[in-house]
Structure formats: structure tokens, C-alpha cells
Amino acid sequence: MADEDVRKTLEELSRDLRESKARLEEAQRIAHVGHYYWNLIENRVIWSDELYRIYGLSPQEGPIDMAMVREMIHPEDREFVFRTAEEALHSEVRADIQHRVVRTDGEVRTVHALGTVKRDASGRPYEMFGTVQDITDRKRAEETLQQTQVYLREGERLAHMGSWAFGDSGHYWSDELYKSFGLNPENGAPTIEQYLALIHPQDRASVSETIQIMNQQHCGCDITKRIVRPDGQMRYVRCVANPVVEEGVFKGFLGTAIDVTEQELLTQELRRQQAYLAEAQSLTHVGSWACNFLTGKIFHLSDEALRLYGFDPYSAGISFERLYNATHPEDEPALRQQSYGAINARKDYDLEYRIYRPDGATRCLRSLGHHDPAQEIGEYVGITMDITERNRAEEEHEKLRQMEADLAHINRVNMMGELAAALAHEI
């Protein structure tokens, strides 16, 4: 009975061992990790099945041919691999190697090998045991990530745009963001107080309020503010931020900051020029426009052009038809004939006509249109001016000239009468 118990126990142990070995092999297959055993005394190496698969070989019983393995190591890595293994045998340092393997079908894989050396009482090494993991996919992912980071840094540098993150995972600023604010990356990202100290004094209160609202309401922002760098240089920076929410839980903020100084200065200059132009048009009663007379699409219409027609510049929905329909009925046929004649001939035009304003007043306008032959037919740019007062002045001048002519005629008649009377008296 005792022998039977021993037999059952051995069978259970054998079964457990086989199950453990099967689970180990399955775990290695899933993790792409193989192991090896190197008997240094007998110079005999045993590989696990997964290690064979990592090298692109079929699992086999017995020791592995190390000469074949040597040839499978990438030529550029071969010397380094065996030198590192040799150093591990003569020191207490564990072998830790990443190298490439060239499989028999030509595919190149990257592996990470770890090895520990066992020594006898005298310190002589007698065994090395280690693992080898296929890290090709991870390595490729790391290389892709590194390349993406290079592209991102270069893109940020070209666009003068930095990125940042703030939340549970910490506080992050990209290199370009440090550059935009004139800060040293070695000092780390600034605190909220340090950040506000960089904001222009006139913008600091509004930026501080925006930050408070973001933290309270977990909302994003899109603001442009001035900063003063440590060297005293002032720059305009546009900051855009969005909240980060994962599974309904607020985690922090992710955003960008772009240096828009040149664009802001150009915009300010453009606004000044537009203001000067609008003032000049208002003083001279000259409006500018651009449109397509055939499609009725208006590309540009200055405020003064609308005021000439008696419309409020701030009103919306002033269509081409509404402007054209303001033409005096007596002048509309000639205006249509002359304008469409110029359009069909692709020529410039110079027209005068009367309009009715919404308040009933009649005004005289002069319109000059220019057509670029390179543009679509019907597309014109031009100006329209109010010549009502000029026409009235010309009419008054003509009346005055006529009165002067009539007076001169009367004077001549009177003189002739006086001369005739004198002659009669002498006779």
C-alpha cells in the first residue's frame, strides 16, 4: 500500500510539473519571453521553446548550436553582445543587452537579454541563466514616438507655438513654450504666481480672472494677452486651453500658446489704415466696393458706400438688388445699358446717375468701375462718390453765368440807346 501511495504521489508531482511547465511555456509565448541555461563547465546551452521561436527556429531537444546563434546576431551587434557576456562572467555585473537578431528568413528582430552568473565556493563561474524577450514592437513604437516628438518639436519651433499640460499628472511645458516666455527649461515650469508675474500689468487682472473661472467651472479658454519676458521684451501670446475629462472625471487642462506678436502688430496697423481710409472716405463722400454684377455677389462694401445710399453701415442684409433698386427710374434704363455694355466688353466704366434714399431724398452719384481681365466676367472693383453738391454748384454757376450774360446784353442795349439819343441830339 505504501508503494501505491508513493506511485500516486510521484504521478501527481509529475502531473503538476507538466502543468507548471505548460503554464510557463504559455506565459512565455504570450509575453514573447524565452529563457536559456548555459552550463559553463560543459559549454552546453539549453533553450526554451519560446526562445527558439524568437529566433525564428523550430523548438528542438538538446543543446543549441552556439556557432549558429552567433551568426544570427546582427553583424553590427555581434562583438558587443559577446564582449558584454564575457564581462559578466568575470565580474559581478549582470548581463543586460539589447541587440538585433537576423532570422533565417531575413527578418530583423530586436531582443532584450538578461543573464545572471552562478559561481562555486571558489568564485569560479559554472552556470549562466537568463531570459530573452522580443521587444521589436515596443522598440518600433518607441522609435515612432521619438520621431513624432522630433516632428512635434520642429513643428512647434516653426510655428512659434508651445504646448502645456496641468493637472493630476503634473505640470508640463514644451521647450518652445519656455522659449516663447524667455524662461530656462532647467528651472522647471513656473507656478501660477510666477506665470502671472510674466503677464503685462494691464492684462494681469483679466488673465487671473480667466484662470479662476477655468478652475471653478472646468472650462477652456481662448485669450490673447501681452507678456513681459525677463529681458524686458514684450510679446503677444495667444493661449488656447481645453479641459481633460476621463470617464466623467476632470483631470486637468491641456493647451497651446503661440507667439502672435507679428500678427498682432500687423493687425493693429491694418486697423489704423482702415480707420484712416474710412475717415478719408467719410470726408470726401467716396465709398469703395467690389462685386460681381452678373451674380450679384458683393465682395466688399465700405461703410461710406452704404451711407451714400442712406443705409446704416451696421445694418445687415444689404443686398446688391436693394442697392440697384434705389436707382432713379428715369436713369435706370441708361444705367443698365451702359453698365452691361461695359461688362460684356470687359471694359472699365464711368457713370453718373440719381438714386432715391430711404428717406426720400434724391442724390446724384458717380461710379467708376475697373475690371481686371484675369478675373471672372462681371467682377469689378471701384468707387462711388456723391456729386450732388458739385452738380448743384455747377447749376448755380451756369445760372450765374447766364445772368451775367443777360446783364451784359442789357448793358449793351442801354449803351446803344444812349448812343442813339446822343446822335439824335447832335443831328
pLDDT tens, residue order, the chain (427 aa): 456 666 666 666 666 666 666 676 776 677 689 888 889 888 888 888 889 899 998 888 778 888 888 899 999 999 999 898 888 888 878 889 999 999 989 999 999 999 999 988 888 899 989 999 999 999 998 888 888 888 878 887 887 889 999 887 788 999 999 999 999 999 999 999 999 999 999 999 999 999 999 999 999 999 999 999 999 999 999 999 999 998 889 999 999 999 999 999 999 999 999 899 889 888 888 999 999 999 999 999 999 999 999 998 887 778 899 999 999 999 999 999 999 899 999 999 999 999 999 999 999 999 999 999 888 999 999 999 999 988 787 767 677 777 777 677 677 777 776 667 766 766 6
In a domain, 233, yes or no: yes
**Does any domain span residue 408?**
no
pTM of the model: 0.57
Does residue 99 lie in a domain region? yes
Same domain, 148 and 236: yes
Residues 321 and 223 both lie in one domain: no
Q: Are residues 356 and 372 in the same domain?
A: yes
Q: Does residue 385 sit in the same domain as residue 299? A: yes
State whether 114 and 59 are in the same domain: yes
Helix (H) or strand (E) segment spanning residue 367: strand 362-370
- 9 is a domain residue: no
Q: How far apart are CA 288 and CA 277, in angstroms?
A: 10
Q: Which residues are within 8 A (CB) of 254 and not within 5 positions of it... i.e. 6 or more apart?
A: 163, 164, 165, 241, 242, 244
Q: Are residues 355 and 307 in the same domain?
A: yes
Whether 38 and 114 map to the same domain: the answer is: yes
Residue among 27, 4, 113, 17 at smallest CA distance from 69: 113
Q: Domain end: 134, 164, 184, which one?
A: 134
Q: Are residues 30 and 51 in the same domain?
A: yes
Residues 250 and 229 in one domain: yes
**Do 255 and 147 share a structural domain?**
yes
185 & 249 share domain: yes
Does residue 43 sit within a domain? yes
For residue 369, the surrounding DSSP H or E stretch is strand 362-370
Q: Is residue 120, in this structure, part of any structural domain at all?
A: yes
286 lies in a domain? Answer: yes
CATH number at 178 reads 3.30.450.20
Which of 94, 118, 134 is a domain's end point? 134
Number of domains in the chain: 3
Other Cβ atoms within 10 Å of 186 Cβ, number? 6
Q: 126: domain range?
A: 23-134
Same domain, 354 and 296: yes
Residue 190 lies in a domain: yes
Domain boundary among 201, 232, 259: 259
In sequence order, what are the beta bridge partners of 143? none
